[in-house]
Amino acid sequence: MGRAAYRDVVAGGRRAVEAAWTYPEPNRRYAEPAGWLAFYPGRADGCTLDGEGVRAQPGRYYGGWVTDDVVGPFKGEPGTGGW
């Protein structure tokens, strides 16, 4: 996609360091999300999707949002490092 840039998120007087990322200059093939932000749910006090509290995808690197409708296994869980 290109080189990611990480952003701090400030809300309610609190700062979550590098809790969001963006691709300011993505490769042409992935131009559509240029400037959008994606958030690590595990770096926030809470995130919801359609009213359901989400769980962070396992592993410190991944930013996936896990809900009851999402079925694993998930990369980042023990034993999934070779994916």
The pTM (predicted TM-score) of the whole model is 0.73
SS (H, E, C) 51-69: CEECEECCCCCCCCEECCC
For residues 54-59, give the mean pLDDT: 86
The chain-wide mean pLDDT, for the chain, equals 86
Q: 3-class SS at 44?
A: coil
What letters, b where the CB count within 10 A reaches 16 and e where it falls short, cover 6-17?
ebebeeeeeebe
Of the pLDDT bands very low, low, confident and very high (cuts 50, 70, 90), residue 81 is: low
In sign, the C-alpha dihedral spanning 13, 22, 65, 49 is positive
CA gap 80, 31 in Å, rounded: 30
Cβ-contact 2, 30 below 8 angstroms = yes
Ranking 3-17, 36-50, 59-73 by mean pLDDT, the lowest is 59-73
